[in-house]
Amino acid sequence: MKVLVLGSGGREHALVWKLAQSPHTTALWVAPGNAGTCGETLAANGTPVVNVPIGAEDLPALLACARDHRPDLTVVGPDNPLALGVVDLFQEHGFRIWGPNRKASQFESSKVFSQDFMARHGIPTARAGTFSDVQEARRFCESLGGRCAVKADGLALGKGVLLTHSVDEAHRALDEILVDRTFGAAGSRVVIQELLEGMEVSLHALCDGKTALLFPTAQDHKRALDGDQGLNTGGMGTYSPAPFLSDTELASVGRQILEPWLAGCRAEGIDFRGLLYPGVMLTRKGPRVLEFNARFGDPETQVYLTRLENDLVELLNASVEGTLDRMTLKWSSNASVCVVAASPGYPGSYPKGLPIEGLDRAAALPGVKVFHAGTALKNGRVVTSSGRVLGVTAWASTLQGARDAAYAAVDEIRFEGMQCRRDIAAKALGRG
Ligand code: AMP
Ligand code: GLY
C-alpha cells in the first residue's frame, strides 16, 4: 500500500515511523516532513521514506502530488488542512484519505460549535456560554466572578485561550479577542467557560463514524517551564499511561464523553472518521471536557505510538472503512515518556538553523527514539527549523525507567540555547 502523510512535526515523524513498520506499506511520502522523516526506511522493502517539499496547507499542490504518486491512503497529521477541507477535496477526486472531513473537523476548528454541541448532547463540560456580543460576554464573565477561560472560537495556533482570575482580567481578555481581534477572524466569537480546577489529561479515541476506540491515558505539559510556570506552548512533553485514572475509571470517563458524543454525531449527520482528542479536566465533581481536537495530539502521539502494538495501517484503514468494531487496540505494558527539546526563546521568537549535535549517540541508547519536529537538513547537517525541535522519547517497564532513559538521551543532544523541561512525568511520580 502506498501512503502519503501530511505534516512536518513530531507527531508526523511518529506517524511515519509507525506506518513504516507495517508490512502493508510499500511506499511512503511525507509532505513536507522534516529531517527525521526522510531518515526512516520501510520494513516491507527497505525503501527510504521520501519528503516532498509541499506545505501541508497547500491543497492544490497536495492534490497534484496525489495525482502523481497515486497513494492508496493519505494520512493527515495537523488541524489546519482538515479545517481547510483536504479530506473532502481528496475524496472528491477519488483518493482515500484518513481524517475527519471539514464538517466533522469543526469540533476543533470552532470552539463555539463544540461547546454548543456538548450542551445539546449532555457531554460533561464546564459551565459555559458562547458569545459574539461584547456586552453579553462581559455580563457572563461577571456572573462567574471573573474566574474564566476565555477562548477565541477559531484556530489560533494554540494561543487563543486566556485564563482570567478577576473581572478586570476577564474584561481585558474579551477586549483582546473580540475588540482588538488579536487572533484575527478566529476571535469574532468567544467561548467563556468557568475556570476549573483539577488534573488535566489527554484522551484519544480512534473513530469511524460509529465506533470510538479509546486509548490509554496520557498527560501533556503545556507550560514552557518546570512546575507548570511560564507561557502556554504546543506541549513540552508527555507520558503514558497517566496514573490518575484506573482502567475502570478511564473506561467510565470515556463512556461519559464518547457515548453522548457518538449519539450526537449520529443525530446531526456528522461522519467523524479520524482521531478525537478531548482535553479533559478531572474535577472533584467528575470529568469535564475543556475542548475537542480532531487529530492526534503532539507530543501525545510520540508516547502513544511507542506503546501501540497494532499495525497502524490496519487501524487507519478500518477507521476509513467503518470497520473499527472488528478491531481491538493492543498496548504494550511499557510506560513511555517524551521530552521536547525546544529552541531558545520558544514559545516567543527564536533563532533557526542551529546545528544539532549528538543525535546518533542518543539514538544508540536502548529503548529510545528521537522524533524530529522542527528540524531541517542544511549542507548535510541536521539544524533547528522551528520552536519545538525534537521529541526525545523512551520506553521502559516502569515510568521512572522511561523517564530516566528519555533524560539520558536528552543529555546526549546539544544545540545552542536548547531548552527542555526537567519535570516531565514528575506529577505521576509524586514529585510534581
Ligand atoms: P484548550 O485549548 O481549550 O484546551 O485550552 C488550553 C489550556 O487552557 C488547557 O490545556 C487548560 O490547561 C487550560 N484551560 C482551558 N479551559 C479551561 C477551564 N475551563 N478551566 C481551567 N483551565 C482551562
Ligand atoms: N498536545 C497538545 C496538542 O496537541 O494540542
Per-residue tens of pLDDT for the chain, all 432 residues: 999 999 999 999 999 999 999 999 999 999 999 999 999 999 999 999 999 999 999 999 999 999 999 999 999 999 999 999 999 999 999 999 999 999 999 999 999 999 999 999 999 999 999 999 999 999 999 999 999 999 999 988 777 899 999 999 999 999 999 999 999 988 899 999 999 999 999 999 999 999 999 999 999 999 999 999 999 899 999 999 999 999 999 999 999 999 999 999 999 999 999 999 999 999 999 999 999 999 999 999 999 999 999 999 999 999 999 999 999 999 999 999 999 999 999 999 999 999 999 999 999 999 999 999 999 999 999 999 999 999 999 999 999 999 999 999 999 999 999 999 999 999 999 866
Binding site membership of 10 for ligand 2 (Cβ less than 6 Å): no
Cα 222 to ligand 1 centre (Å): 10
Cα 295 to ligand 2 centre (Å): 9
What region, left, alpha or beta, does residue 386 occupy, with left being phi > 0 and alpha being psi -120 to 50 degrees?
beta
Instruction: Compute the Cα dihedral for 376, 225, 428, 201 and give only its sign.
Output: negative
Give the CB-side neighbour count of residue 150, counting CA atoms within 13 A: 32
Query: In the structure, which protein residues have their CB atom closer than 6 angstroms to any atom of ligand 1?
Result: 126, 149, 151, 161, 163, 193, 195-196, 200, 222, 279, 290-291
Helix (H) and strand (E) counts for the chain? 13, 23
Query: Taking the CA atoms of the chain, what radius of gyration do you get in angstroms?
Result: 21
Cα 290 to ligand 1 centre (Å): 6
Mapping DSSP to helix (H, G, I), strand (E, B) and coil, where does residue 290 land?
strand
Q: What is the pTM of this model?
A: 0.97
Distance CA 209, CA 109 (A): 18
Question: In Å, what is the CA distance from 225 to each residue of 228, 231, 347, 400, 432?
Answer: 6, 8, 11, 20, 12
Q: How does strand 97-98 pair with strand 73-76? A: parallel
Residue 208, amino acid = D
Our mutation pick for probing the ligand 1 site, out of 161, 194, 300, counting the most ligand atoms within 8 A of Cβ, is 161
Cα 70 to ligand 2 centre (Å): 31
